Structure formats: structure tokens, C-alpha cells
């Protein structure tokens, strides 16, 4: 039997040495490590970028919508009165009115596509909102001719003017455009 302590006095075999990992000295600038400097620069860059994006979205003029007012009732009413006073038959008047309404709709849609918010004149309570009614009227009448009034000698058949006027009032009332029609 061998004693475990017999070999205790003998010199141990070459011990395994663990090489200690030496740290490289870190670069320091004004007391900050390289990692801290990079994190600070990244945070500052993100802050500056965020401020630029906020300014661009909130305050640049091209992105802002402009409010304009339009006297839609006046344009439609003027056209319908001129159509009622013209010497055209019912089918022609209906066809010309449909063309006029389509041109008006196209013109107003063009305004909204250009970034303008179109408010009907009756919806404006106060404030300084530019009125685009004359320019819209000019654009529509550039596409659609104005109805010509009938000659004084050639009066429209009895009842036709009254019927057109009734249709005009019904249209204005149905579209909350008549005098007191929507109230």
C-alpha cells in the first residue's frame, strides 16, 4: 500500500501557469473612454437628426395646407339663374348643367390636390381666409360657356321658366344651399 503523503515532500511537477490576460490601456480623452465618446457622439447625432425632422414636418411651408374659401352656392346659383333665363330646351339645359357641374367639381378637386383645404364660404365664421371664388369661376367658365339670356322678343314658353326655377330651388335646398333651406 502506498501512503498518500509519501510523495508530499517531493517537488511538484511543473505547475500549470495561467497567463493573466493583460488589458490594453484604453484611450482616454478628457477623462472619457473611447466607448463613452462614441456613445455620446451617436446620441448627439440622433438628437440633431430628430430636431431636423421635427422642423421639416411641422414648419416647412410646402408641406403646410392652406385654407381657402369658396362661395359655391353663389357660383351654382348664378349659373342656374342664367340657365333658367336662357332659351334652351329642357334636355339641353340639363346636359349643359351636368357639364358645368363636372367642370366645377374638377376645378375644386384641382384646388384640393394642390394642397389647399377648400372651405365653403358659409362655413367661415371669422378670420382671414383667402377667397378663391373669382379664380374658380373664371376657370370653370373657361371650360364651359355661360348660358346666354333669351332675347326679350322670344320669351320662353309659359311654365318653362317657373319649372327651371323650381328645379333650381329644389337642388339648392337638397344641397343645403338655398336661403334658409338647411336651417
- In tens digits, the chain (183 residues) has pLDDT values of 566 666 666 555 565 555 555 555 556 777 888 888 899 999 999 999 988 888 777 666 555 668 888 888 888 888 888 888 888 888 888 899 999 999 999 998 888 888 888 888 777 777 778 888 888 889 888 998 888 877 644 455 566 777 787 887 777 777 765 444 443
What are the cell numbers at 109? 378637386
Question: pLDDT at position 99, please?
Answer: 92
Tell me 97's DSSP state: H
d(CA 116, CA 112): 5
The pLDDT assigned to 46 comes to 92
The pLDDT of residue 21 is: 56
Write down the domain spans for the chain: 28-59, 66-174
Sign of CA dihedral 80, 124, 111, 182: negative
pLDDT, residue 23, reads 59
Of 91, 94, 86, the residue nearest 148 (C-alpha): 86
Give residue 42's pLDDT. Answer: 92
Hey, how many other C-beta atoms are within 10 angstroms of the C-beta on 76? 19
- DSSP H helical ranges for 60-159: 72-85, 90-113, 133-143
Q: How many CA atoms lie within 13 A of 74 on its CB side?
A: 12
Amino acid at each position: 500500500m502506498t501512503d498518500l503523503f509519501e510523495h508530499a515532500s517531493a517537488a511538484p511537477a511543473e505547475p500549470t501557469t495561467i497567463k493573466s490576460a493583460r488589458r490594453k490601456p484604453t484611450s482616454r480623452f478628457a477623462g472619457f473612454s473611447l466607448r463613452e465618446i462614441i456613445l455620446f457622439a451617436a446620441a448627439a447625432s440622433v438628437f440633431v437628426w430628430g430636431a431636423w425632422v421635427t422642423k421639416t414636418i411641422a414648419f416647412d411651408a410646402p408641406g403646410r395646407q392652406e385654407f381657402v374659401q369658396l362661395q359655391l352656392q353663389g357660383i351654382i346659383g348664378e349659373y342656374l339663374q342664367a340657365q333658367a333665363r336662357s332659351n334652351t330646351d329642357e334636355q339641353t339645359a340639363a346636359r349643359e348643367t351636368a357639364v358645368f357641374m363636372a367642370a366645377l367639381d374638377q376645378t375644386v378637386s384641382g384646388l384640393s390636390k394642390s394642397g389647399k383645404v377648400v372651405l365653403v364660404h358659409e362655413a367661415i365664421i371669422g378670420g382671414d381666409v383667402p377667397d378663391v371664388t373669382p379664380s374658380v369661376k373664371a376657370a370653370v367658365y373657361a371650360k364651359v360657356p355661360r348660358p346666354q339670356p333669351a332675347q326679350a322678343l322670344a320669351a320662353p314658353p309659359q311654365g318653362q321658366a317657373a319649372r327651371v326655377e323650381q328645379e333650381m330651388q329644389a337642388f339648392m335646398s337638397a344641397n343645403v344651399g338655398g336661403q334658409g333651406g338647411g336651417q
